[in-house]
Amino acid sequence: MLQYVTTNPGKLREAESYLGDEMIDAYDYDYPEIQAPTLEPIAAAGARDAYREVGQPVVVDDAGLFIEAFDGFPGPYSSFVETTIGVDRVWELAEPLSDRPASFRCVLAYCDGEAVDDPVDDGDLPVQCFTGVVDGEIVAPRGDGGFGYDPIFEHDGATFAERTAAEKNELSHRGRALAAFAEWYQQR
């Protein structure tokens, strides 16, 4: 069985909603995160570490919010920023901007110790990554659903916190990454 390795129940709920809980098991492990300016190397390093820990095929999910006017901040630092200043203060920082375009990105990284079709090219154990991106806008917080930055991210007239997990998956960075992953994994 495929192990979805995360400490984040919100990510897990969306992965289970998309893939079905017969396809994945939840594995709660806090793999050490390297620092890098983009998500892919963070996810790849995490997948290798998680595979070594778990000893079964794993997927890790690294995600972040990229605010254009802040050159992509908080991006790969989204988790740190959420736990330090918090989502409401990210909104307060963005509020004075005249335009607030942003994107969410999600990188799923798969590792089972075997060769993959398109490995991340940095030696070490083979890992394959699947990226999903969605564009939107930073807005004043609305909605009780979702998790993390969802209340301040609007896409198509609603924030992600105003959608169910299934509705969010139809549009979201994670839904898109899960779609690409699922298509590949079914051939494997």
Active-site residue set: 62
Smaller CB distance to ligand ITT: residue 143 or 186?
143
- d(CA 138, CA 131) in angstroms, rounded, equals 21
In whole angstroms, the minimum distance from the beta carbon of 50 to ligand ITT comes to 10
In whole angstroms, the minimum distance from the beta carbon of 127 to ligand ITT comes to 16
Smaller CB distance to ligand ITT: residue 104 or 181?
104
Smaller CB distance to ligand ITT: residue 45 or 125?
45
In whole angstroms, the minimum distance from the beta carbon of 184 to ligand ITT comes to 20
- d(CA 144, CA 2) in angstroms, rounded, equals 30
Smaller CB distance to ligand ITT: residue 112 or 176?
176
- d(CA 175, CA 147) in angstroms, rounded, equals 15
Question: CA 133 from chain center: how many Å?
Answer: 9
In whole angstroms, the minimum distance from the beta carbon of 57 to ligand ITT comes to 17
**Where on the chain is the footprint of ligand ITT (CB under 6 A)?**
6-8, 11, 30, 61-64, 78-79, 82, 104, 146-150, 160, 172, 174
Long-range contacts of 82-90 (CB under 8 A, 24+ apart): 82/148, 82/149, 87/141, 87/148, 87/149, 87/151, 87/152, 88/141, 90/65, 90/138, 90/149, 90/152
In whole angstroms, the minimum distance from the beta carbon of 115 to ligand ITT comes to 25
- d(CA 30, CA 28) in angstroms, rounded, equals 7
User: Residue of minimal CB distance from ligand ITT?
Assistant: 148
In 55-159, where does DSSP find H-type helix? 78-84, 87-94
Smaller CB distance to ligand ITT: residue 49 or 150?
150
Q: Cα dist. 11→114, 133, 165 in Å?
A: 25, 15, 10
- d(CA 75, CA 86) in angstroms, rounded, equals 14
